[in-house]
A = this chain, B = another copy of it.
């Protein structure tokens, strides 16, 4: 589709670089903004640039944060001796949403993925290792995606953390709540049988 305006085309191209936004959707968004009051476009631009310019990584857990310490690390009511290791901020939000976890986090910034040339030194693993003795951590919960890369990272972390003699756990894999057995893939079902729990432990 040829757009008869270079101004619109330039904006559409930038929108179309976003994940899940194709050129048609980008055009729809840009035209919507062109037909809306000017402040809509300015507010969007302003808030986005400001966020990108001022956002920091929490110096303790490396999540995206407005301040040097994120609101979770700053909160004295959180359990200071448990660290939940996740890939990114989105996982922090997902765990927070469950309202089941009151400890701290550690954001790796990705997982070990040799194909994409992401090695352990590209992640915040050293910082995590330093936190364990400094914060007298008692338990590290690995909450990584159940992919090859996630499992590799979990294995690497376990080896690094073992010398500290702390409890290392991983979130349970199994049949999702509301999921039907017959539709579960055999790997998940197999794992959920291997890691079965005593019945009255379940809620």
Q: List 12 additional contacts besides A2-B93, A11-B50; criterion CB under 8 Å.
A: A2-B96, A5-B51, A7-B51, A10-B51, A14-B44, A17-B40, A21-B29, A38-B52, A41-B49, A44-B48, A45-B45, A45-B48
Q: Which residues of B contact A97 (CB under 8 A)?
A: 1
Does A72 reach chain B (CB closer than 8 Å)?
A: yes
Query: Complex formed: what's the CA distance from A92 to B14 in Å?
Result: 22
Picked from B11, B18, B45, B70, the residue with its CB within 8 Å of the CB of A32 is B18
Does A64 reach chain B (CB closer than 8 Å)?
A: yes
Chain A 1-40: CB-based contact to B (< 8 A → 1; otherwise 0): 1111111101101110111110001011111111100101
A48 touches B30 (CB 8 A): yes
- 13 A–B contacts from the bound complex (CB under 8 Å): A2-B93, A4-B70, A5-B65, A11-B51, A14-B43, A15-B48, A17-B44, A18-B32, A31-B89, A34-B89, A38-B53, A41-B52, A44-B45
